[in-house]
Amino acid sequence: MQITALSYGQLDGWAADDHAAALGVIARSCGLARMGAPALGLTPDDWTQACDGAATAARSQATATAFFAARFVPVLVEGGAPPLFTGYYEPELTAAVRPQGRYRHPIYRLPSDHPGEGIPWLTRGDIARGALDGKGFELAWLADPVDAYFLQIQGSGRLRMTNGAVMRVGYAAKNGRPYVSIGQIMKAEGTLGSGPITADAIKDWARANPSDAQALMNRNPSYVFFQPAEGLTAGDGPRGALALPLTAMRSAAVDPAIAPLGAPIWVETEGPDGPIRRLFAAQDTGSAIKGAQRADLFFGTGDDAGRRAGQMQTGGRLVLLLPRAAVARLGLTADGR
């Protein structure tokens, strides 16, 4: 990997971002970066010193800008796979507490005989063929198997139950099988012709070809189990890997082996509504999020967020904001202000 310290003047659009709004989100997770796996030679003390006072700093643009400049240095980490920025969201779906009418497609809570995180277990195909039927692990029932599949891809959701209740569900565990992108399979096999491989295009094809769609989905052996997400308000996003509610267009999933969870990150990419030049907090992870220049941006809740997130598949630049003392210790020199 190549690691280069930058100045804030080298960040495209830095001055135009709302640093006060970003600090409000980053303050909730910054101190937690000291608890993650060591990355890039940083220590827990580095994060304690850098994040101290973030929660109580005045929420003005000038104060927030000064806080980042005094405590952090932008650092570009390059190497490995090409830059890739994608999007994710929290689906809103109707569901039932028991099978009825068209609600025939279950999502499952963590089975009691699950062998533990990371240990290979039943595949998606095994479960689709009934391996968990009748064992009482169903958490809710959806009307559409495609929605059930994409709920697992997103890892969380709001279920508007037929009895009027709202159930928030979040990630509990996986089945220990590798994630395989059905979008990449479709691209390689020309399933959608020359058209773009977006989430909406995949869903439309799957709903139009239900028998072929189940076989295709089974080629991704990875399977996600859910749990009720308690203690969230209606205005909260789903919880990420730090167990904190995510914030639309301020929270991102990263590779924690390179970007410590909780750290501020600067993103330069092109979004569905125009350029994205803003500070995010590294607050989540994902099976497909691997590499120094890889991030999944959280777009929010509902269909519109899902449409926008599904259009994200582009390059760009991810810059870590690392504690100033650590950057100096590592021998990286930049003005940073």
Q: DSSP characters for 15-67?
A: GGS-HHHHHHHHHHHGGGGGGS---TT--HHHHHHHHTTTTTS--SHHHHHHH
Q: Hey, which residues does 276 pair with through a beta bridge?
A: 269
Enter the tokens of residue 7. 């100045």
Residue owning tokens 């410590």:
260
d(CA 50, CA 46): 6
Q: What is the pLDDT of residue 104?
A: 97
Mean pLDDT of the chain: 93
CATH superfamily assigned to domain 91-228: Barwin-like endoglucanases (2.40.240.50)
Relative orientation angle of helices 145-154 and 199-208, to the nearest 10 degrees: 150
Triad 43, 44, 50: Cα angle to 5°: 95
Residue owning tokens 């240990």:
119
Q: What is the pLDDT of residue 37?
A: 63
User: What three-state secondary structure class fits 329?
Assistant: helix
Architecture of domain 2-86+244-329: Beta Barrel (2.40)
d(CA 81, CA 293): 7
| C-alpha 172 chain-centroid distance | 15
Exposure on the CB side of residue 277, measured as CA atoms within 13 A:
11
| Ranges assigned E (strand) in 91-143 | 92-96, 105-108, 138-142
Residue percentage of the chain with pLDDT more than 90: 82
Confidence of residue 232 (pLDDT cuts 50, 70, 90): very high
Confidence of residue 194 (pLDDT cuts 50, 70, 90): confident
101 Cβ neighbours under 8 A, 6+ residues apart: none
d(CA 149, CA 222): 10
d(CA 246, CA 298): 7
Instruction: Give pLDDT tens digits for 14-59.
Output: 999 999 999 999 999 998 988 776 677 788 888 988 999 898 887 8
Where in the sequence of the chain do the CATH 2.40.240.50 domains occur? 91-228
- pLDDT of 336 higher than 50: no
Instruction: Give pLDDT tens digits for 247-261.
Output: 999 999 999 999 989
User: Residue 284: how many CB atoms within 10 A of its CB?
Assistant: 27
Position 200, amino acid: D
Where in the sequence of the chain do the CATH 2.40.40.10 domains occur? 2-86+244-329
> Is residue 302 within 8 Å of 92, Cβ to Cβ?
yes
Task: State mean pLDDT over 219-223.
Answer: 97
